[in-house]
Structure 1
């Protein structure tokens, strides 16, 4: 349900009341996804650096 602000304007982002439990679950999910992505990026970077150092003799 949207609430009209003074002047008759309805905010676009007015989604009504937020359930604190749902917000907490969503925040936890976002953190888990971000952590997984960070670990994947770190693994890929580590692998690239490992391969790069193994081939140092080919670099001029």
Structure 2
């Protein structure tokens, strides 16, 4: 499943978390790039995030 354009929560340091949008996702490696509200890019792996909202869910509830 692609996480492109998903809203996710990710850990920025030991006790801090932030939200952002997935702007790149490699299904084969699980790596991704997230852009936060300030435009900063974070790189990590999908096992270290929590999905808040998927684009496919938004489309399914429209209407």
Taking structure 2 as the reference length, the TM-score comes to 0.21
More strand by share: 2
Between structure 1 and structure 2, the one with the greater Rg is 1
Choose between structure 1 and 2 for higher RCO, CA contacts under 8 A separated by at least 6 residues: 2
State TM-score, norm by structure 1.
0.22
Q: Which has the higher helix share?
A: 1
